Amino acid sequence: MKSQSDSNHQSWRRSGQLLAPYLSPYRWRLAVAMACLFAAVTLRVVEPLPLQYILDHVLVASLSGNVAIAADDAMAVLAVCAVAVVMIATVRALLEYGRAVMFAWVGNQVVTRLRTDVFQHLQSLSMAFHNRSRTGDLTIRLVGDLNMLRDVAVTAVLPMIASTMIMIGMSIVMLWIHLWLGLIAISIFPMFWFAATRGSRKIHQAAKQQRSREGALAATANESLSAVRVVQTLSLERRFADTFGGHSKKSMKEGVKTSRLAAALERKVDVLIAFASAVVLWQGARYVLAGEMSVGGLVVFLAYLKRGFKPLQDFAKYTGRISKALAGADRVMEILEQRPAVSERADAVDAPTLRGHVEFRDVSFGYLDRRPVLSKISFTVQPGERVAIVGASGAGKSTILSLASRLHDPDKGTVLIDGTDIRSWTIQSIRRQQSIVMQDNAVFATTVRDNIAIVEPDATDEQVETSARAARAHEFIEKLPQGYDTIVGERGTTMSRGQAQRLAIARATMRPLPIFLVDEPTTGLDRNNERLVVDGILRASRGRTTLIVTHQMELAAQADRILVLQDGEIIEDGSHRDLIQQHGAYAAMYMSQQTRNLNHECALQQ
Ligand code: ADP
Ligand code: MG
């Protein structure tokens, strides 16, 4: 019980933390909106007063034969009261309209900004985080949970603040009309509090489960649909449908549970209110009969009672939705609390135009589990030099590239470009001067042209074609149904791996950036595609400082220099000729691959 109420409070606190920085720019608007709210509440509190006046001073007085008020006066009072009723209602309506519009405006602004920030934050998080998370769940947090937060803030939390103020106002007036009767009416509050806190805890739990279930639902759908080909070829449709259906059913059950709990709370509150009203009516009638209270007083008191209790009903009604929003805020906060793998120094400046001198000086690095991946690596690459990095899987080759593009920072030692520690520059300004081709490269759902020119949207058709030719991609692009205008990726023509690779190389050659990082571009390609990609890489890397991680010895052999990495250390460093003469690890790798290729070609010819 204790821990549940703690988690409830914690959710409120976290929602507050999440929203406070975004609300503060709008504090003046919010203050005005709150003033409108306050004025509207005051008007709501005085609304029944004309009724009491008419009852006591016009109707009851004339019925009991009291002619203190002349008939004309009575009419005048009636008219004034009638006008007052309309006026109060009109002004209140205007105030509430203004408040609603202003709150909705702020709510939308806040969520839009928050969403953009959360999205940017997600993009800055490390691959390790993204490997752990499910894309569908993140999308739900970004879209569903944030919308829920906004809707509930506008349609539930603010009305509840208003309700609380109304409740306090009404209570004061009730106490003022009749102290004892007021106390009887107010005695319902503790009972309500008891019912509500118990109920809302359970609702909160159920709502939280439901939100994460919806995340799982979206993730399952996303994963199976994005791999629909594999799913179909392996006949996994049933299995995914079952998983999806299972999540869906559980989500439905939790949804029903939330609604059931909220409905139960609402009905409990109704009964409590009926009970309180009965006691008040009973006792109030006795006061009137005893002459301690006027009829108008009792009628107005009952009117206040009804209005004063409405917030309690609202609270019961909104608890379910507020719980869902709190759960959503929790889930958004979980994302924001993730720290990116690298953080920028406060005094970081934009890097100047780089020449491309890259140096690793005694660099040691381990991922979060702290098992060292690189230990005291040192090497230097001259501007324009082409260096291949070879070694077994898991030797730490990709890690070297990650450090050079600041996907991670070294634990010890320094990575320098043009003699400067790259940590003194902004991350963006370094990455903007590097082209990267990886093992798997994204093909975006757009035209071939836009895919190539994605980093250079203003590029001319000639530039795009030149890059495509250099990357040996032009030939296959021309054969596509609409050439460079063919839509590829998720919604269009699918590319083979080799084609996607060459597209990525074309993308990397769009701008002659000083540093070119290539990670195993030929893995999984057939010989023909492999040759094309190797050729593309060699052309694209001309005149640029290039680090090529590769298993493909033909590519390595063409580099100016080769680094052989083993167990996080560089064991050989030299040109192809030097290393072949050394008869070391590189020579062995090279020979074994040559033999394999030869056997392969003989087999093809037979
Ligand atoms: P290579 O590219 O040479 O195959 P990597 O540089 O990718 O090797 O990885 C080196 C070691 O670090 C491997 O043991 C790998 O399991 C581990 N590793 C790579 N990336 C991560 C990561 N994001 N989190 C934790 N460990 C990682
Ligand atoms: Mg790798």
pLDDT, tens digit, for every residue of 443-474?
A: 888 889 998 998 888 889 999 999 999 888 89
Whole-number Å distance between alpha carbons of 604 and 606: 6
Identity of residue 234? L
Judge whether 96 and 336 are in contact, CB under 8 Å: no
Q: What is the CATH number of the domain that holds 113?
A: 1.20.1560.10
Q: Are residues 502 and 406 located together in one domain of the fold?
A: no
SS (H, E, C) 559-604: CCEEEEEECCEEEEEECHHHHHHHCCHHHHHHHHHHHHHHHHHHHH
Of 281, 311, 336, which residue constitutes the final position of a domain? 336
Range(s) of the domain holding residue 578: 344-433+515-606
Q: Are residues 143 and 182 located together in one domain of the fold?
A: yes
What Å distances lie between residue 334 and 62, 122, 133, 438, 533, CA to CA? 68, 11, 12, 30, 41
The pLDDT tens digits for 399-416 are 999 999 998 889 999 999
Q: Are residues 248 and 199 located together in one domain of the fold?
A: yes
Q: Are residues 91 and 227 located together in one domain of the fold?
A: yes
The pLDDT tens digits for 298-317 are 888 888 888 778 878 877 77
Of 199, 218, 214, nearest in space to 253 by CA? 214
Beta carbons within 10 angstroms of residue 539's beta carbon: 14
Given pLDDT bands bounded at 50, 70 and 90, which one contains residue 565? very high
pTM of the model: 0.69
Q: Are residues 184 and 107 located together in one domain of the fold?
A: yes
Q: Are residues 123 and 137 located together in one domain of the fold?
A: yes
Given pLDDT bands bounded at 50, 70 and 90, which one contains residue 586? very high
When pLDDT is averaged across residues 123-128 and rounded to a whole number, the result is: 80
pLDDT score of 4 more than 90: no
Q: Are residues 329 and 357 located together in one domain of the fold?
A: no
Of 533, 560, 534, 532, nearest in space to 547 by CA? 560
Q: Are residues 86 and 70 located together in one domain of the fold?
A: yes
The pLDDT tens digits for 349-368 are 999 999 999 999 999 999 87
Q: What is the CATH number of the domain that holds 400?
A: 3.40.50.300
| Cα four-point dihedral sign 250, 252, 256, 261 | positive
Q: Are residues 394 and 288 located together in one domain of the fold?
A: no
The pLDDT tens digits for 529-544 are 888 888 888 988 988 9
Identity of residue 348? A
Determine the pLDDT at residue 3.
47
Determine the pLDDT at residue 563.
95
The pLDDT tens digits for 261-302 are 888 888 888 888 888 889 989 999 999 999 888 888 888 888
Pick from 6-15, 366-375, 415-424, 426-435: least confident: 6-15
Q: Are residues 174 and 272 located together in one domain of the fold?
A: yes
Of 286, 320, 336, which residue constitutes the final position of a domain? 336
How many domains does one find in the chain?
A: 3
Of 516, 515, 533, nearest in space to 524 by CA? 533
Q: What is the mean pLDDT of the chain?
A: 85
Q: Residues with Cβ within 6 A of ligand 1?
A: 127-128, 367, 373, 391, 393-399
Whole-number Å distance between alpha carbons of 541 and 537: 6
The pLDDT tens digits for 331-344 are 888 888 888 878 88
Nearest ligand atom owner, CA of 377: 1
How many angstroms is it from 105 CA to the middle of ligand 1?
47
The pLDDT tens digits for 187-210 are 888 888 888 778 788 888 888 888
The pick from 126, 129, 398 for probing ligand 1's pocket by mutation, whose C-beta has the most ligand atoms within 8 angstroms, reads 398
Whole-number Å distance between alpha carbons of 469 and 484: 12
Judge whether 502 and 471 are in contact, CB under 8 Å: yes
Of 465, 483, 512, which residue constitutes the final position of a domain? 512
pLDDT score of 421 more than 70: yes
Determine the pLDDT at residue 65.
61
The pick from 342, 390, 399, 567 for probing ligand 1's pocket by mutation, whose C-beta has the most ligand atoms within 8 angstroms, reads 399
CB neighbours of 440 closer than 8 A, spacing ≥ 6?
Answer: 500
The pick from 125, 363, 367, 523 for probing ligand 1's pocket by mutation, whose C-beta has the most ligand atoms within 8 angstroms, reads 367
The pLDDT tens digits for 435-447 are 988 877 778 888 8
Determine the pLDDT at residue 400.
94
Whole-number Å distance between alpha carbons of 154 and 157: 6
pLDDT score of 169 more than 90: no
Determine the pLDDT at residue 363.
94
Q: Are residues 25 and 98 located together in one domain of the fold?
A: yes
Where do runs of H (alpha helix) occur along 227-372? 228-233, 237-289, 295-336
User: Which residue is it, tokens 């793998």?
Assistant: 341
How many angstroms is it from 376 CA to the middle of ligand 1?
17
How many angstroms is it from 420 CA to the middle of ligand 2?
26
Ligand 1 atom 13: residue of nearest CA: 394
Determine the pLDDT at residue 570.
93
Q: Are residues 184 and 290 located together in one domain of the fold?
A: yes
Q: Which atom of ligand 1 is nearest to the CA of 127?
A: 23
Task: Select the highest-mean-pLDDT range: 16-20, 88-92, 366-370.
Answer: 88-92
